[in-house]
Amino acid sequence: MSEYIPSAGMWFAEVSSRFTLRIKPGGPMQIMRAVLPLKLRKSDEGDAGWLCRLKVSKVVNGVTDAGVMLVSLVPCRIDNGAMKVLLHPGDQYVFDVIGGGDSIFMSGEFLTESDKEYPDTELRKLAIRPKAPKARAPAPVVVKSEEDEEQ
């Protein structure tokens, strides 16, 4: 299901490890910051903390490119990161959370001119489905004869 926001002013979106976020900008927009949420999954005892990365890929003709990492965050050390990433209208971008953590929040602003009207920007969450387990080989069929049953 898609959500549409006006292509003007500030914007805010969540990218979760449970879904990818596809953005189709209606006007030129900029990502300015990525932040880890306040409520975090605790690290295992002895862990120095886990790395949570935000990846962006561009969609061209329905195919997603390899993408790039925008930011790497570590709870209690680097829990937010500033950036200037421009997203162009007419293009499609897919955002993923890679590594530990449940989600990353990103914010930014539209770089639109006040005297022009732009179409709304589409934000769409796409579910990530786990890979199906490999099918097991069927058990062999064993036919017992009457002699086997008597013994």
Give the model confidence (pLDDT) of 77-126 as tens digits.
Answer: 888 999 999 999 999 999 999 887 788 999 999 998 877 889 999 999 98
Query: What CATH number has the domain bearing residue 14?
Result: 2.60.120.340
Residue 134 forms part of a structural domain: no
Residue 105 forms part of a structural domain: yes
d(CA 21, CA 39): 21
d(CA 18, CA 8): 28
Residue 109 forms part of a structural domain: yes
- Report yes or no: 38 and 22 within 8 Å, Cβ to Cβ: no
Question: Is it the case that residue 132 has pLDDT exceeding 60?
Answer: no
Residue 37 forms part of a structural domain: yes
Question: Is it the case that residue 35 has pLDDT exceeding 90?
Answer: yes
> In which domain, by residue range, is 109 found?
2-41+48-129
Residues in the chain: 151
Residue 102 forms part of a structural domain: yes
Instruction: Compare 128 and 106 and report the one with higher pLDDT.
Output: 106
Residue 30 forms part of a structural domain: yes
Q: Which residues sit opposite 55 in a β-bridge?
A: 69, 96
Residue 147 forms part of a structural domain: no
Q: Give the list of residues 6+ apart from residue 128 with CB closer than 8 angstroms, or none.
A: 17, 18, 19, 20
Number of domains in the chain: 1
The per-residue pLDDT for 38 is 72
Residue 151 forms part of a structural domain: no
> Which amino acid makes up residue 14?
E
